[in-house]
Chains A and B, each alone.
Chain A
Amino acid sequence: MKKLIQFTALFFLFCVPVFAQQKEESPVYLFLKGNSAYAEGKFDEAISSYENIIRQKSESGNVYYNLANAYFKKGETGKAILNYERAKLFIPADSDLKANYEYALSSLKESPVALRKTWFAFVERLAQGLTIDGLTVFLSAVYFIICFSWTLWLFVPALREALRYFIAIIVIVFIFAAVNFNKKITHLGKDAIITSSQAQGRFEPLDNATVYFKIPQGSRVEILEDKDNWYKVKRLDGKIGWVKESVLGLINL
């Protein structure tokens, strides 16, 4: 009995701290800790907790959403927009996210450079509620349906009349989805958000190079290449210049 007590004591002595360590490090624990800090108005602590989750290479739409909220409350609207954009990769159809993202954009002193509206915006809207993986599955499903319909068309001549229109429609759906998919994956890893209010596009990747343009905080840019601590970026209106690495954040980590 004495031995048993000793063993139990040893177990708690060694194991409990191990469990405690695990609990402190777990993403769920960090998330709840961040939420508590946020509720108390300690936004720096909240940001730290949420970013620790991401450093562990774990991520979710809600983590990025809460992190964006914390940045917004702290007054760093650029970083808030960046994290809302990251959250959109996971929970693009979330209504709270949409509302906060739009509110954050509207609260900027200087409006971000916007893309001119084209006919393609309509097609983009069709798939804006889907993540890349969701769109991939959707495309695959449509592709399978096309193959199956085609097989039916070959082997059941009686169904051909009806299948003709069905296949035509579903092929059009496939094309739209494929165009969207292509656009999303083309920009994946290339798009970034300007997080600083002092961002300037320069002609060369040098501190003393001539400033070509200013980029308002919250603007989306496309990264074309990088050199040392500089990124060559293209604004949505097509203007290209060099910006410092510190003024932007990549949407897709």
Chain B
Amino acid sequence: MKFFKNLKILAIILLMFLVISNACFAKDIRFEASVDRNKVSLGSTLQLNLTFYGVENMSAPGLPNIDGFKWQYTGSSTSMSIVNGKVSNSITYIYLLLPVKTGTFQLGPFSLEYQGAIYTSKPITLEVVEGQVSQAPQAQSPAQSGSQQFDLKDKIFLIMQVGKNTAYLNETVPLTIKLYVNKLAVRDIQYPQFNHEGISASSLQQPRQYQEISGGLAYDVIEFDTTFFGIRPGEFKVGPAMLKCNLMARKEGQRRPSGMDSFFDDFFGGYEAYPLDVNSSEMKITILPLPEEGKPQDFSGAMGNFTLDVTVGPHEVRAGDPVTLKMVIRGEGNFNTVNCPKIETTDGFKIYDPQTKQENGTKVFEQVIMPMDEKIQEIPRVIFSFFDISSGTYRRATAGPFPITVTKEEAQTQKVVEPYSKRLTVYSPPETLGKDIVYIKDFIGDLKSRQKPLYKNKAFVWFQFLPLALLVVLYIALNRRNRLKQDVSYARRLNAPRRVKKSVENARDFLKQAKPEEFYNAVFKAVQEYLGDKFDLASGGITINIIDEFLKTKNIDPQILERLRNIFKDCDMARYAAGAFDKTRMETTLKDLEELIVYFQRMKE
């Protein structure tokens, strides 16, 4: 049972494989051409579809020229369908056809080569009519159907016109290009272009738009105007002019129910832009050289018919002051060829380049000239020569001379006019300076007898040591002052002789007065103070014991210590038996004290 079940699944798989393989291998290639409708009005477009069945991908084929139509490739679409298990691919190339004339036309047959085989479509018959094409079949009048044929070239065309076919070198010739459009919607009209080898053309002016009836038909006309002139003699072609625009062709096949047509057509793409090139015919023009006969020397190529008007100001100037000549040339002709008129003679004048201004039909030259001499009485004639095209001869327009009054030059006024840099170069030639020695001195100056220089003067040299010595002394003093402030023992030691001297004097007074008790008190006090200051000890605590406890360690002469011990002993005894000390003993004690002080002063610390 299970075996049959598996067999059934296998059979389904095999069946699906067969179906797919059939789809893959059954490639039936066909080529068909079709249009969206067989009847179309002039000025409308229709769609041509070239469909390849059984083809998945191929490049878009080009179309041959089709009589009565212009064509434009717009894109492609692909489709795939499965019908009864059969898969079919197709690719459709879509072309937009624009009928250019009325009549009945046959499209195709179209042939195409694909993978070595040639495929051919069936021909299609199309009818192009003037006016609207009605949806319902309608009997046409004989006049519409056969006798009168309409062409797109009759509905939109370009005309180029030149003012004249023969012109002189540099003569301005008007050129007009007109676009005629009859009952067609045209947009995006570009400025026309035209070949103009051998001539120089100005840029086109802003176009004019108007209506014109030609051959009984009303045309909308767009006119472009310009001028040109020949730049060398010979025969040249002008044109053809070519104008690019977009023709808004009606899509007639997509009509909607009544009433809504015009609305949607106008606002939702009832028209399709079809790019169109409109060409005109070409023109021939002959450029003649200017005659040599009667050509003035001052002729500078001006072509046309002109008048010259010159005004001068101011009329009273100083020599070197500017005078302005305003030269106005009016008339018709090629103003590009009009150059500044010539002043007959420029002797005694400084001439600057003219300023030029050109407007329609007028060219103005403002020239500054400068009379350099007060003898000048007039500004010479101004001459302008041109070639009069209408008569074919050279003519000369003149103005002046113009009387002026020139007074003597002033340096100040010259400075105003001359540019600074120029003045420097013109009026300041490099000055050559003479060279020689400067003259002798009139006064003898600071006369000195020859003597040693100052730095060899001994007094001066010694004087130089003064600030240094002063500085050293001050430095030492400052150091000492600082030490006295900071080091108390040093200060006591330093002040010890001064203080003990006072006490000794005191004792001497008591000696003279024969007061042994006061004398020995003063001596004791002097010893205490001196030893206290000298060895930085508390003076009040100094007794005879200091000898054994402190002074013996200071490497002091033992005899000195013994004498000091005796002084201490005498001082102690005098407190109790002052009467035992006579003046001689007191003198001995004072002498011992003084010698002790001298010893201690000399002793190195």
Question: Residues of A with Cβ closer than 8 Å to B?
Answer: 27-28, 31, 35, 38, 53, 57-63, 65-66, 69-70, 72-73, 90-91, 96, 99-100, 103-104, 132-133, 136-137, 140, 143-144, 147-148, 150-151, 154-155, 181, 185, 188, 253
Tell me whether A28 and B436 are in contact (CB under 8 A).
no
* The residue from B437, B444, B474 contacting A60, defined by CB atoms under 8 A apart: B444
Give the shortest distance, in Å, between A232 (CB) and chain B (any CB).
Answer: 25
Tell me whether B467 and A35 are in contact (CB under 8 A).
no
Tell me whether A143 and B467 are in contact (CB under 8 A).
yes
Tell me whether B438 and A96 are in contact (CB under 8 A).
yes
9 pairs, A vs B, C-beta closer than 8 Å: A60-B447, A69-B439, A90-B445, A91-B445, A136-B453, A136-B460, A147-B471, A151-B470, A155-B478
A252 to B425, CA, bound (A): 51
Q: Mark B58-101, 1 if CB is under 8 A from A, else 0.
A: 00000000000000000000000000000000000000000000
Tell me whether B448 and A35 are in contact (CB under 8 A).
no
Q: Given the complex, which residues of A lie within 8 Å of B478, measured CB to CB? A: 154-155
Q: Does B442 contact A (CB under 8 A)?
A: yes
A70 to B471, CA, bound (A): 53
Q: Given the complex, which residues of A lie within 8 Å of B443, measured CB to CB? A: 62
A31 to B460, CA, bound (A): 32
**CB within 8 Å of A: which B421-457 residues:** 435-450, 453-455
Tell me whether A104 and B471 are in contact (CB under 8 A).
no
Give the shortest distance, in Å, between A226 (CB) and chain B (any CB).
Answer: 21
Give the shortest distance, in Å, between B46 (CB) and chain A (any CB).
Answer: 100
Tell me whether A104 and B449 are in contact (CB under 8 A).
no
A100 to B440, CA, bound (A): 10
| Interface of A, helix, strand, loop or mixed by DSSP | helix
Tell me whether B453 and A147 are in contact (CB under 8 A).
no
Q: Which residue of A lies closest to B444 (CB)?
A: A31
Tell me whether A104 and B440 are in contact (CB under 8 A).
no
Q: Which residue of A lies closest to B435 (CB)?
A: A103
Q: Does B464 contact A (CB under 8 A)?
A: yes
Q: Given the complex, which residues of A lie within 8 Å of B447, measured CB to CB? A: 27-28, 58-60, 63
- Indicate whether A144 sits within 8 Å of B474 (C-beta atoms), given known contacts A27-B447, A60-B446, A65-B440: no
Q: Given the complex, which residues of A lie within 8 Å of B475, measured CB to CB? A: 154
- Indicate whether A155 sits within 8 Å of B454 (C-beta atoms), given known contacts A60-B445, A90-B446: no
Q: Which residue of B lies closest to A148 (CB)?
A: B467
Q: Does B468 contact A (CB under 8 A)?
A: yes
Q: Which residue of B lies closest to A30 (CB)?
A: B444
Tell me whether A59 and B450 are in contact (CB under 8 A).
yes
Give the shortest distance, in Å, between A140 (CB) and chain B (any CB).
Answer: 6
**CB within 8 Å of A: which B489-525 residues:** none
Q: Given the complex, which residues of A lie within 8 Å of B445, measured CB to CB? A: 60-63, 90-91
* The residue from B446, B453, B468, B474 contacting A155, defined by CB atoms under 8 A apart: B474
Tell me whether A147 and B470 are in contact (CB under 8 A).
yes
Tell me whether A103 and B444 are in contact (CB under 8 A).
no
A62 to B446, CA, bound (A): 8
- Indicate whether A61 sits within 8 Å of B446 (C-beta atoms), given known contacts A136-B453, A140-B464, A155-B474: yes
* The residue from B438, B440, B449, B471 contacting A150, defined by CB atoms under 8 A apart: B471
A65 to B439, CA, bound (A): 10
Q: Given the complex, which residues of A lie within 8 Å of B450, measured CB to CB? A: 57-59, 253
Give the shortest distance, in Å, between A183 (CB) and chain B (any CB).
Answer: 13
Q: Given the complex, which residues of B lie within 8 Å of A65, measured CB to CB? A: 440-441
Tell me whether B437 and A104 are in contact (CB under 8 A).
yes
A205 to B111, CA, bound (A): 126
Tell me whether A133 and B471 are in contact (CB under 8 A).
no
- Indicate whether A133 sits within 8 Å of B453 (C-beta atoms), given known contacts A35-B440, A60-B446: yes
Q: Given the complex, which residues of B lie within 8 Å of A181, measured CB to CB? A: 455
Q: Given the complex, which residues of A lie within 8 Å of B435, measured CB to CB? A: 103
Instruction: Give 17 A-B pairs besides A35-B442, A99-B438 with Cβ atoms closer than 8 angstroms.
Output: A28-B447, A59-B447, A60-B444, A60-B447, A62-B443, A66-B440, A66-B441, A103-B436, A103-B437, A133-B454, A133-B455, A143-B467, A154-B474, A154-B475, A185-B453, A188-B453, A253-B450
Q: Given the complex, which residues of B lie within 8 Å of A188, measured CB to CB? A: 453
A57 to B474, CA, bound (A): 45
Q: Mark B472-492, 1 if CB is under 8 A from A, else 0.
A: 001100100000000000000
Give the shortest distance, in Å, between B359 (CB) and chain A (any CB).
Answer: 67
Tell me whether B467 and A147 are in contact (CB under 8 A).
yes
A66 to B437, CA, bound (A): 11
Tell me whether B467 and A58 are in contact (CB under 8 A).
no
Q: Given the complex, which residues of B lie within 8 Å of A90, measured CB to CB? A: 445-446, 448
Tell me whether A63 and B444 are in contact (CB under 8 A).
yes
Give the shortest distance, in Å, between B436 (CB) and chain A (any CB).
Answer: 7
A196 to B444, CA, bound (A): 28
Q: Which residue of A lies closest to B463 (CB)?
A: A140
Q: Give the interface centre of B439, B440, B453 by most chain A CB atoms within 10 Å.
A: B440
Give the shortest distance, in Å, between B194 (CB) and chain A (any CB).
Answer: 78
Q: Which residue of B lies closest to A188 (CB)?
A: B453
Q: Given the complex, which residues of B lie within 8 Å of A63, measured CB to CB? A: 444-445, 447
* The residue from B440, B454, B470, B471 contacting A69, defined by CB atoms under 8 A apart: B440
Q: Given the complex, which residues of B lie within 8 Å of A132, measured CB to CB? A: 453-455
Tell me whether B438 and A100 are in contact (CB under 8 A).
yes
Q: Given the complex, which residues of B lie within 8 Å of A100, measured CB to CB? A: 437-438
Q: Which residue of B lies closest to A146 (CB)?
A: B467
Tell me whether B448 and A59 are in contact (CB under 8 A).
yes
Give the shortest distance, in Å, between A119 (CB) and chain B (any CB).
Answer: 26
Give the shortest distance, in Å, between A35 (CB) and chain B (any CB).
Answer: 6
A233 to B239, CA, bound (A): 100
Q: Given the complex, which residues of A lie within 8 Å of B444, measured CB to CB? A: 27-28, 31, 53, 60, 62-63
Tell me whether A72 and B446 are in contact (CB under 8 A).
no
* The residue from B448, B449, B455, B474 contacting A185, defined by CB atoms under 8 A apart: B455
A1 to B241, CA, bound (A): 141
Tell me whether B454 and A137 are in contact (CB under 8 A).
yes
Q: Which residue of B lies closest to A50 (CB)?
A: B440
Q: Given the complex, which residues of B lie within 8 Å of A133, measured CB to CB? A: 453-455
A37 to B467, CA, bound (A): 52
Q: Which residue of A lies closest to B442 (CB)?
A: A35
A47 to B79, CA, bound (A): 128
Give the shortest distance, in Å, between A58 (CB) and chain B (any CB).
Answer: 5
Tell me whether A144 and B453 are in contact (CB under 8 A).
no
**CB within 8 Å of A: which B152-185 residues:** none
The 8 closest A-B pairs by CB, nearest first: A62-B445, A147-B467, A62-B441, A96-B438, A60-B445, A66-B440, A57-B450, A100-B437
